[in-house]
Structure 1
Amino acid sequence: TEVSVIFHHTIDTYRRKNNPDAVLLATLDSLAWNGKNDVSESLLDTLIIENKAREICAEIYLVKAQQSFQKNNYADALRIGNEAIAKYPKYKRINALKNLKQEIQNPALFVNTNRLAYPETEFALQVNHRNLSGFTVEYYKVNLPAISPELKNQPAESFYKKYGKKISSQHLSLIRSDDYSFQDTVILLKAPQEGVYLMRMIPDNKAKTSIENFLYITRLKAITRALPGNQCEIAVLDAESGKPVSGAMISLFTEKKGEYQKIKTLTVDENGRVRLIQQNDYHYFTAEKNEDTAMPLQTIHKGSYGFSGNEEVRKRTTLLTDRKLYRPGQTVYVKGIAYSLQADTANVIAGKKHTLTLTDANRRIIGEKEVHTNEFGSFTTEFLLPSGGLNGEYELKTESGNALFRVEE
């Protein structure tokens, strides 16, 4: 190619000028280009042997260490980096290797959790960590309504002083790996009483930053549906038992200049339901009863009502992933449930073959699996995300269903 010709001429020019350091650097650039940043390890080892007497050899070690790092072989990358640092401590770019070493050894903590939980029941923390033996979870009761605009922002230290009251703290232990790799685990915690809380997670080992999540602890769950005559129905249920909650109050809101303004308040009937005319002056609602006022704003989905007498059988596949946010190189665990719909009847589809594809943020196919449903109409599989993959929205898809998740470095 034209680029390869340019590299060849550049290397040849430096060789004629008797500049071996420039020859080596241009050679490494050429190899990286032709190998798409995956240079043969044996070729790099040969270059190390040929150039070991000169400090510029540290650049070969850097390429080798970076490739191991990108393949999640962190222990190898650290060993290679340490070898170069020991051999060429005064090389002018030795800090590049020291920075890579620091990145490998730095502690890291990522936590995902649902922002809604039921009082005094267990909820899950999905934890991804590296080089960390544990972290501390602190709970702060927040003296703000659940709809407060203050809850949209990342809390500053002043937020804790003004609105937060610390109510509990506990230390959680983690099992760290011996090879500096990221580990995934799920930790179950007990939710506090009803209310709005700020959960702060502070890593051990003096890690740089804490992680903060707002928690809304409520017994209430609200669902909406469209009805004929431009009506909408809201039903309030107990989120644990599914039983209707009578006497709950529904507050309707509109948004103006970032502030939520209450339009009206309605009371549900003995079946936990209330009907209203769909209007454009309100878009959100909350449900509360007595002291249970922690439900965050819910959107009123102003859909249309319709009925079809079509008896055609429609096939659907629901795809579920173990989380919604991943890092490059992590494993995506997938569960699928295949079923058929006919009028108001649903049946699982057992013994059916499905082709499951994974596409990246550019909608390029990066993985494909053939799966078969079991007797319950479900299947499980997994995909390993590429370590050097794109950030953005990825999609899992079958012929009758899909699921989206994000990948962020």
Structure 2
Amino acid sequence: MNLGSTETTADPLCNPFRNFMDLPMFTRFLLATVSLLFTQNTILAVQSPEQPPSRYSEPKFPKERLPMWKQVEEAIQKGLPKTAIEKLETIGQQALDQKAYPEAALALARKIRLQSDIQGGDPAEAILGLSKELQTAPDTMKPALHAILGHWYWSYFQSNRWQFQGRSELADENSQDLKTWSLQRIFREIDRQYSLSLADNESLKATPIQNFDPLLDPGTYPDSYRPTLYDFLAHQAIEFYASGEQAGVVRQDAFEIDAASAALGPTDEFLSWNPKTIDADSPKLKAIKLYQALLAFHAADESPDARLHCDLERIRFVTNNANGEEKAARTLGLLDSFAQKNPKHALSSVARARLAEIHVSQNDLEAAYDAALQGKNAFPDSIGGKLCHNLIESITAKAINVSTERVWNAPAPNIRVRYKNISTIHFRIVDADWIQRLTGQDRWRPDQFNEVDRQELFKKIPIKAWTSNLDPTTDYQEVTHDELAPVDLKPGYYFLLYSLNGQFTPENNQLGACELWVSKLGLILRPRNHFGIPELEDGFRGIEGLVVDNQSGEPIAGANVLCFARNNSNQLPNTPTSRVQTDATGIFRIPKIQNAALILVEHQADRLASQSETYVFDHQASAVNPLNVALFTDRAIYRPGQTIHFKGIATSSDRKTNRYEVVAGMKFTLQLQDPNGQIIENLDVASNDYGSFSGSMTAPRNRGTGTMILSIKDRPFSTAINVEEYKRP
């Protein structure tokens, strides 16, 4: 177990994304009061004075209406939503009169949310309310409202996605009841709203993003990366088109991005690329078209910020969605070319961070380190430089893990050390009291550590101590080192401690411990009545075990067996709840065990405890002839389009009579499900005279990749396979 670690990497960006390749480079957010629509039991989430400040700033309101906005917040905090609505109506009308459309849109959205809250807090009502208001809104205000409405639909789906899975299409396509919509219907509506928000693109391109400050909050990057309202709305739509949930509505002949195409080519090739497909509604295709429009829009900009940012995002999107053996190599080439062509731009460090991330995924840590170091040195204070810094910290972090056999005896076992970026490890062996360690705060079992152990056990005078010099790891890869354990320890209970520093102090260190026994005893346990069949188990209920000499295998008679069973408070006692001895054949029985128990065996100077707790269940007898089906596939991993050959064997069992047989003539329906749980293919089969059946299916080309499930319909039998693109070794 590891007790301390230096492998903690601070994230100076505080970003919410999981890895570097998935880090969108955004400049603006919808305000929290607009985008965070749905919360439990209420639509409007209000921050109390006691809560820490949000990372979202206050909207930038005109000075003359700032007091009115503060009155809105005060009314909400006092639980006076109707008063807040009245203030918002006044604000909205004044903003419309002054053509302050972003502020009017914010006032309208907040008013609708509050009205929905008063009516019961149903998000669907807020969506319907905004849809009605949109019909009479000024044209200049409509793009922002369409974007908000699309975001609200998207939020509704994400909060209720489980209700959409498997819901079939309705004949009445005009129904406004979201609770009856299928997955396809709500995705079409989200797509429609985002498309409408971009309809008047020339006007949007002429609208600086700063004009919508009241509706937006600053993001990670400066506005020059997305300088217009068109940029912001286009990237909002792309975020939807790029979402993983789109896999749930993929059509049979869906558009796929070929990694060998111009999608992963230089910018000029990408701009002139015209994908040929019959899937005109493909989200991937729409995202491609938007990236092409954005790059063409910014091609002649005086500042390269927006163009470079968009191109880097294009590379990320295509890499995440393309299929083909060339994908990794072409992505590496594009990112390297991007960084070399723009060495004086801060985004080159982001490109190098993504380069390094791909090298990490390919386990080429030396190349990853070199790329990250270049990015960090070029722009150390930029976001890309900090991403590169984090990667370097991860690659060069010291790591160590030690394992060994739990019971030491002759011949001496190995102590296995797995490590990287270190050259020395320090060991200590200290004795411990197994019974005393049965109890203790924050310790569930004797082998677990708490803070008291960290402070006391590692300061204990060791019985043995030594230092091992390890071969240096120059390529940042993990290495395994084996060394023989000491052979001159007395029988007993110990901990093998290890540390990166010789003082075994926790500061800037990794500490670990392995539980071990030095003993010649062997302990084999069998809980009885697990299946509840008295006719087979002579009526005995409890724990049965065998004690042997682990050198010769001979049974040991007269060994003392102590049982420590948990009490009704689920705590282990420090005194045994039962004591028995082994008979002449080394067997012992401990009856009437109600809770989980640990077993300790003593014989002469030797002792040994069970590694884990033993449970005795009072199960009912198994049903007669329960069906069981074992499924097998010819491989564990397939490429899209390859044939999946499977075989199954159907058996039945009667434990009471100890009768097991194959099941002939049983009909089954095999189903292949994609990673989203969607049925790809059904196949009817029947077992032959030997209880077996076989068949084949095709790994899909158009359902994405990942873990897929081959199962038997309406029965709990399945096996998993992986469908992945070929990755060059």
Instruction: State the TM-score bracket (shorter-chain normalisation).
Output: 0.5 to 0.7
- Quick check: which one's helix share is greater? 2
Q: Deviations over 1:337-393 (max 9, x none)?
A: xxxxxxxxxxxxxxxxxxxxxxxx999xxxxxxxxxxxxxxxxxxxxxxxxxx9xxx
Which of 126, 131, 151 matches 2:416?
A: 126
Q: Deviations over 1:384-404 (max 9, x none)?
A: xxxxxx9xxxxxxxxxxx9xx
> Looking at CA atoms only, which structure, 1 or 2, has the larger radius of gyration?
2
Does residue 1:287 correspond to 2:287, yes or no? no
Partner of 1:48: 339
Which of 241, 244, 251 matches 2:555?
A: 244
Which of 494, 509, 512 matches 1:197?
A: 494
What code does the residue aligned with 1:55 have?
A
Q: How does 1:354-373 map to 2 (within 5 A)?
A: none
TM-aligned CA distance change 1:123 to 1:49, over 3 Å? same
TM-aligned CA distance change 1:93 to 1:84, over 3 Å? closer
RMSD: 4.3
CA contact (8 A) 2:582 2:588 kept: yes
CA contact (8 A) 2:377 2:385 kept: no
Counterparts of 2:333 and 2:496 in 1: how far apart (Å)? 49
Structure 2 counterpart SS, 1:259: coil
TM-aligned CA distance change 1:300 to 1:99, over 3 Å? closer
Structure 2 counterpart SS, 1:293: strand
Size of the alignment, in residue pairs? 325
Partner of 2:473: 177
Q: Deviations over 1:282-316 (max 9, x none)?
A: 7443222233334146515569999xxxxxxxx9x
TM-aligned CA distance change 1:125 to 1:146, over 3 Å? farther
Does residue 1:260 correspond to 2:572, yes or no? yes
TM-aligned CA distance change 1:286 to 1:267, over 3 Å? same
TM-aligned CA distance change 1:362 to 1:112, over 3 Å? farther
Counterparts of 1:174 and 1:161 in 2: how far apart (Å)? 22
CA contact (8 A) 1:194 1:294 kept: no
Structure 2: stretches of 5+ with no match in the other structure: 1-282, 322-327, 441-445, 529-536, 622-629, 633-674, 678-705, 707-718, 720-729
CA contact (8 A) 1:278 1:302 kept: no
What code does the residue aligned with 1:216 have?
W
In the TM superposition, residue 82 of structure 1 has moved relative to its aligned partner by 2.7
Partner of 2:431: 141
What code does the residue aligned with 1:252 have?
C
Does residue 1:66 correspond to 2:377, yes or no? no
Which of 292, 307, 319 matches 1:23?
A: 307
Structure 1 counterpart SS, 2:609: coil
Q: Deviations over 1:196-234 (max 9, x none)?
A: 212211125996311122223332223336432235532
Q: Deviations over 1:72-127 (max 9, x none)?
A: 2111112222333444456464232223223222221122333x213464223332
> TM-score, with normalisation over the residues of structure 2?
0.39
CA contact (8 A) 2:376 2:384 kept: no
Structure 1: stretches of 5+ with no match in the other structure: 307-314, 318-360, 364-389, 391-401, 403-409
Counterparts of 1:278 and 1:100 in 2: how far apart (Å)? 56
Partner of 1:187: 483
Q: Percent identity, aligned pairs only?
A: 16
- Quick check: which one's strand share is greater? 1
CA contact (8 A) 2:491 2:606 kept: yes
What code does the residue aligned with 1:26 have?
C
Partner of 1:407: none
Does residue 1:228 correspond to 2:538, yes or no? yes
Counterparts of 2:593 and 2:398 in 1: how far apart (Å)? 51
Which segment is superposed worse, 152-161 or 95-104? 152-161
In the TM superposition, residue 265 of structure 1 has moved relative to its aligned partner by 0.6
CA contact (8 A) 2:559 2:602 kept: yes
Q: How does 1:102-113 map to 2 (within 5 A)?
A: 102-113=393-404
Q: How does 1:335-350 map to 2 (within 5 A)?
A: none
Partner of 2:457: 160
CA contact (8 A) 1:230 1:304 kept: no
